[in-house]
Amino acid sequence: MTQIPVTQISAADMAALVDREEHDFADMQRRHFKARAKMSLENEALRASFLGASNFLVGKRKAMFPDDAELSALRNRGEAIRQHTLNNLPDLLQRLETNLTANGIQVHWAETAEEACWLIHNILQDNNARTVVKGKSMVSEEIELNHYLEQRGIECLESDMGEYLVQLAKETPSHIIMQAIHKNKEQIARLMHSRAQTSDGQAVPYSEDVDELIGNARSILRDKFMTADAGISGVNMAVANTGTLCLVENEGNGRMTTTVPKLHIAVTGIEKVVEDFSQVPDLLTLLTRSATGQKITTYFNMISGPKKPGEKDGPEQVHLVLLDNGRSRIFNHDTLKPTLQCIRCGACMNHCPVYARIGGHAYGSTYPGPIGQVVTPQIGGLQKHGDMLSACSLNGACGDACPVRIPLPKLIRELRSEAVNPDVNHLTADSIRQVFNPVLGRGSKRTLGESLIWRGWSLAHRQPWLYRLMTRLLTRGRKLLPKKLGPWTRSRSMPQAAARSLHELVRDRGVANELNSGESQ
């Protein structure tokens, strides 16, 4: 192995640096969206990490879809499969439950994050499980399961390499596929040396070599797999007709988590069901090619039951927790329903110019980027998460990249409108459905100033005399208009009103006002 020169700083300095990063992260997460975005933009190392990773993943995906016609056919198929699921969701969930139960997998339903955590904790307690290894599961991040279990004295160790590093740093994932995308290898080298311990309690030797870093993490985590009481994983697809849980991964930690401990608990959102195995291959190929630009991942793990009599290994119990946490509310919204088509590939964030610059942590939520902007305010409410909706230039790249054709820009616009709409009591008849299903915190971003401006704007365009007055004031008083307009003019010049309005110029040219001159002409 080649020795890589180490920038010699003392172990204490290194630990201080790692602590500093943890402190900075915690500090950032306490702030509002705008402050978080500003902090990210000012952090050059962070911006380099995100831009590098985004470009890398965009390039890999592009290479996987050389044929536009094939890509288009696959996306149509992916969209059709996911819409078929949503059209039949309650039936498919019941069929899934029946078939999982017949296969010996126990099914639980949770309406809220709290209930899911409580259910999982109960299962662990019933089995005296004190140590848990986790495969990558964004739903478990969504319900903040680690925190819940650790408060109750259960050790919860992330085993996906990215998630392991993020947990070691006491941070949260900044991407749903590449969780530690925000850290460069020097930071990771310092982190491993300062915080990771081998099973005999020694500090991990300092190295910036990726193979060595992974090798060190591998031996620490294999010791944990060997002894853990339970494994907790996510699910990529649940097949209703066969009662099968499918997991997609490269590292093998998902298989370890679901195979080695005596108890396996899977947790997933209610939208992840598909009807039949015949729909799985095309969704799988869309998922892996869109997410990491791979034809297929190393492992595709299809679990249809616990260890059977005579089998030498495998978990003795398998549980599935089906989580709602706002999803049935999304399901009831006419325009926002396609949110639930998502297969969590992360292509939208890789293609988002805003995500590539502010990074995942600025969003302050489990799901960042365009899909995060759509999911998070609907789950956590517009009041708390509505600000992130402004972090979008509506360039449409996310919608073009989405393998299941979720109209993300349209959904973001709809949520922006929900955020400033008057409260539910003022709804008009044509949006009657939404009376019962407004997005949580509807209207919470409405401000008096903004709504007055729009009301005035609307009035001026409906009253000809008011419109004439407005254009007259703007053209004649154009010298009096401000030269600067807040941050907008910091990098742009202020638009200038013309000396005369278009109406006046046209009239001078002798074009008659058709509205006033009647139909005889």
Residues 141-180 that bind other proteins (CB under 8 A): 159-162, 165, 178-180
Among 35, 226, 435, 505, binds other proteins (CB under 8 A): 226
Contact 388, 365 (CB under 8 A): yes
Backbone φ and ψ of 20, nearest 5°: -60, -45
3-state SS track over 346-368 = CHHHHHCHHHHHHCHHHHCCCCC
Among 251, 387, 414, 418, binds other proteins (CB under 8 A): 251
Residues 36-55 that bind other proteins (CB under 8 A): 49, 52-53
Q: Residue 37 or residue 138: which is nearer to other proteins going by CB?
A: 138
Residues 320-359 that bind other proteins (CB under 8 A): 322, 324, 328-329, 331-335, 337
For residue 93, the minimal CB distance to other proteins (Å) is 7
| Whole-number CA gyration radius for the chain | 27
DSSP string, 170-214: T---SSSSSTTTT--HHHHHHHHHHH-B-TTSPBPPP---HHHHH
Chain center to CA of 175: 7
Residues 255-284 that bind other proteins (CB under 8 A): 255-256, 259-260, 270, 277-282, 284
Collapsed DSSP state (helix, strand, coil) of residue 106? strand
Residues 490-509 that bind other proteins (CB under 8 A): none
- Please tell me whether residue 205 binds other proteins under the rule CB under 8 A: no
- Please tell me whether residue 121 binds other proteins under the rule CB under 8 A: no
Residues 73-92 that bind other proteins (CB under 8 A): 73-74, 76-77, 79-81, 83-84, 86-87, 89-90
Q: Residue 132 or residue 256: which is nearer to other proteins going by CB?
A: 256
Other residues' Cβ atoms within 10 Å of the Cβ of residue 33: 20
Q: For residues 321 and 234, what is the distance between their CA atoms, to the nearest angstrom?
A: 10
- Please tell me whether residue 410 binds other proteins under the rule CB under 8 A: no
Residues 414-453 that bind other proteins (CB under 8 A): 433, 437
- Provide CB contacts within 8 A for 499, sequence distance 6+: 475, 478
Other residues' Cβ atoms within 10 Å of the Cβ of residue 367: 24
For residue 121, the minimal CB distance to other proteins (Å) is 16
For residue 28, the minimal CB distance to other proteins (Å) is 21
- Please tell me whether residue 129 binds other proteins under the rule CB under 8 A: no
Contact 222, 191 (CB under 8 A): no
Among 20, 32, 147, 185, binds other proteins (CB under 8 A): 185
For residue 181, the minimal CB distance to other proteins (Å) is 8
Cα dihedral value 308, 107, 172, 174, nearest 10: 90
Contact 325, 112 (CB under 8 A): yes
Other residues' Cβ atoms within 10 Å of the Cβ of residue 93: 19
Q: For residues 411 and 399, what is the distance between their CA atoms, to the nearest angstrom?
A: 10
Q: Residue 359 or residue 445: which is nearer to other proteins going by CB?
A: 359
For residue 398, the minimal CB distance to other proteins (Å) is 20
For residue 330, the minimal CB distance to other proteins (Å) is 9
Among 44, 128, 202, 308, binds other proteins (CB under 8 A): 308
Number of residues that bind other proteins (CB under 8 A): 102
| x/- letters, 55..74, toward other proteins (CB under 8 A) | -xx------------x--xx
Which helix H or strand E contains 383, and what residues bound it?
Answer: helix 382-385
